Structure 1
Amino acid sequence: MRELSTKQLADASGVNGETIRYYERIGLLPEPPRTGNGYRRYGQDAVTRLGFIRRARELGFALDDIRSLLELAAHPDAPCRDADALVQRQLAAVEARIRDLQALQAALQSLAGCNSTAAAHCRLLEALDQRDCPDCRH
C-alpha cells in the first residue's frame, strides 16, 4: 500500500492540510505513523475517512455528530436508529434555516424597488434607521 504525505492526502481527499491536522488534533482522524524526520505518512484508510468526513460536513453535520457517525460506521452491525436520529435532527435544522432564509428574502423584497431619487428617502436606508419613506410606495 502506498503511503501519502499530508499534501498528497489533501489532494486525494479534497480536504486541506491544515484541516487534516485539525481533525487529527480533535481525534476525528487517527494520528498517522511518522517517518524518522517527523513527516506524517497516511494510508488509503485516511483518504476514505476524510471523504466520509467531508461529505458529512457538506450535509451540514457538526463535528460531534460526525464523530458519532464514524463510530456507527465502525460497527456495521449496530442499529441505524442513532444515525437516523442524527439525520432527522439535521433535516429539522435545515428546514428551520430555509424558513429563516425565506423570511429574509421577503424582507429584502419589501425593500427592493425604491423609486426615491434621494438617499435621504431610500427605502433600505430608512428601514435600517427605522424611518418611513414618504416618496416610496410600500
Structure 2
Amino acid sequence: MTIGVLAQKAGVNVETVRYYQRKGLLPEPPRPPGGVRYYGTEVIDRIRFIKRAQYLGFTLREVGELLAFGSGSCKDVEGLAAAKLSEVEARISDLQAIRQELERLLEQCRGGELTTEWDLIRVVIGQETGSDAGEG
C-alpha cells in the first residue's frame, strides 16, 4: 500500500508516518524505479503500537526503546514500564491534591466565605481567610 493508504488505515496523517520514519520508529521501504514506495500491512500495527504507547505516556524515545526490545529480554521492558508506572502514580497523586484544593475552593465559594479578591488569593495560595484578609 502507498503511504497515503497506510496513513489512512492507521488513523494518522502522512506527515506522522514520515516523522516516525525520520525518528527511526518505522522502516522506510526502498523507492523502486517507478518512484512509489509500498508498505506492508504489518506497518499499520507498528503505527498503532506507537500511538498506543504514547497514550500510555511513553515518549517517542521510549517507544523506540520498547521497539528495540522486540528481540531482547522482558526484564528491559519491565524496567521501562515500572519507571513509567511510577511517573503515572506520581501524577495521580498530584491530581488528587489538585482535586482537594479545587473542592476546598468550591466549598468556600458556596459557603460565602470568599467576599474579596484577597480572600480568593489567600485560598488559592493556601492561606486561610480571616479578619486580616487584604492586609499587608
**Global fold match (TM > 0.5):** yes
Which of 79, 98, 105 is the equivalent residue of 1:104? 98
* Pairwise CA RMSD: 2.7
Q: Which structure's residues are more often helix, by fraction?
A: 2
User: Counterpart of 2:82?
Assistant: 88
Percent pairwise identity: 40
In 1, Cα distance between the equivalents of 2:95 and 2:114?
29
In 2, Cα distance between the equivalents of 1:58 and 1:50?
12
SS of residue in 2 equivalent to 1:94: helix
Contact 1:111 1:123 in 2 (8 A): no
Number of residue pairs matched? 128
In 2, Cα distance between the equivalents of 1:129 and 1:56?
36
Gaps of 5+ in 1: none
TM-score by length of 1: 0.75
Which of 13, 20, 38 is the equivalent residue of 2:10? 13
Quickly say closer, same or farther: Cα 1:117–1:50, change in 2 above 3 A. closer
Contact 2:114 2:120 in 1 (8 A): no
Matches within 5 A, 1:116-135: 120-121=116-117, 124=120, 127=123, 133=129
**Equivalent residue letter for 1:107:** E
TM-score by length of 2: 0.76
